[in-house]
Structure 1
Amino acid sequence: MKSEPTLLLHRGRFLDGAMRIQRVTRAEVLAALRGSGAADAGSVAAVVLETDGSLSVVRDAGGAGNVGTLEGLAATRDEAW
């Protein structure tokens, strides 16, 4: 079985379908944001559920077209980012 990182929040928008599939609550994502020092969800590029179960907060690189470390992460089928 191969596990892949899952995008849970992108540019301030919770990806509810992905969160439901991965059984992660908004409270858990918000706790990860607080733990990283982020004041609000819109101040980061993304929150990613890693293959080891940890939540990574990816800081905004400043450019809407920049992908950076988010490259290769797919949104769920019903949620485009």
Structure 2
Amino acid sequence: MYEQLLKEGFNVISQALRQVEQIFVDTKFEFGYVTDANGVEKLIYMDEVGTPDSSRIWESASYQQGRIVENSKEGVRQYLLKN
């Protein structure tokens, strides 16, 4: 179950960042359990998944030229707020 959620989460975030020419390198995934309205316990993502505070995100164009340019957490946040 964890492996499936990790892959799905990483792919969703990677695809979204690819649209703005960024590479999603890694992130911190935290999980927790909740009980839904029917009393069924479910595993969920929680706390900062894919955010600039918990991830490394590189500029795609720079990486293709052999350089790694990691955007600052604040820079990425401002960019996403504007777009």
TM-score, normalising length: structure 1: 0.28
More helix by share: 2
TM-score, normalising length: structure 2: 0.28
Query: Which gives a bigger RCO, structure 1 or 2 (Cα 8 Å, sep 6+)?
Result: 1
